Amino acid sequence: MRAPDIYEGSPTPVTAFLSIAPKISISANMSRVSIYGSYGATLQQIFFFCSIASMILGALAAMAQTKVKRPLAHSSIGHVGYIRTGFSCGTIEGIQSLLIGIFIYASMTIDAFAIVPALRQTRVKYIADLGALAKTNPISAITFSITMFSYAGIPPLAGFRSKFYLFFAALGCGAYFLAPVGVVTSVIGR
């Protein structure tokens, strides 16, 4: 609940670090638990529920935002759900899709938070201000657009491939409700 306020109030390099590092750390630790230990069906159902809740919360809460950094915070919440999908499966394919998802998410986040300071220099603070960015700084506009399309999972970009592998792993482990919810929340997040 506090992530959007923290993203908005903290310096951009700190925000980028806090957006990427905890997810990598948690995913690495959870992968170790999944590889070296096993968990039962009840715990797997809890992980599925948490994944679904995170995806829905991230997609719906981002729709009402007006500033540039705040939707990135809600996207971060949603992407935790997508990445947790790979872990929730408890299979090798799930862990592989989790690693691919983390790598692609980290790359997209680094790119997005590298562009945000450039947007601040051109006085872009609100999403409505992005309309004039194509005229004032077309390279930043194109780069930011491609990054946001990748976040949304538009084919053939890397974000689409990440979500494809995660949802395919979910279908492979029998989570037939999780993958469609992920696809719907990805569409809502666009």
Dump the DSSP string for 106-130: HHHHHHHHHHHHHHHHTT--BGGGG
> What is the domain range of residue 44?
2-189
160 pLDDT above the threshold of 90: yes
Identify the DSSP state of 38: -
Please report, rounded to a whole number, the percentage of residues in the chain having pLDDT higher than 70.
Answer: 97
134 pLDDT above the threshold of 90: no
* Residue 67, strand partner residues: 126
Q: Determine contact, residues 53/80, Cβ cutoff 8 Å.
A: no
**What is the mean predicted confidence (pLDDT) over 58-63?**
90
Domain count of the fold of the chain: 1
The tokens of 14 are what? Answer: 């700190």
**pTM across the whole model:** 0.87
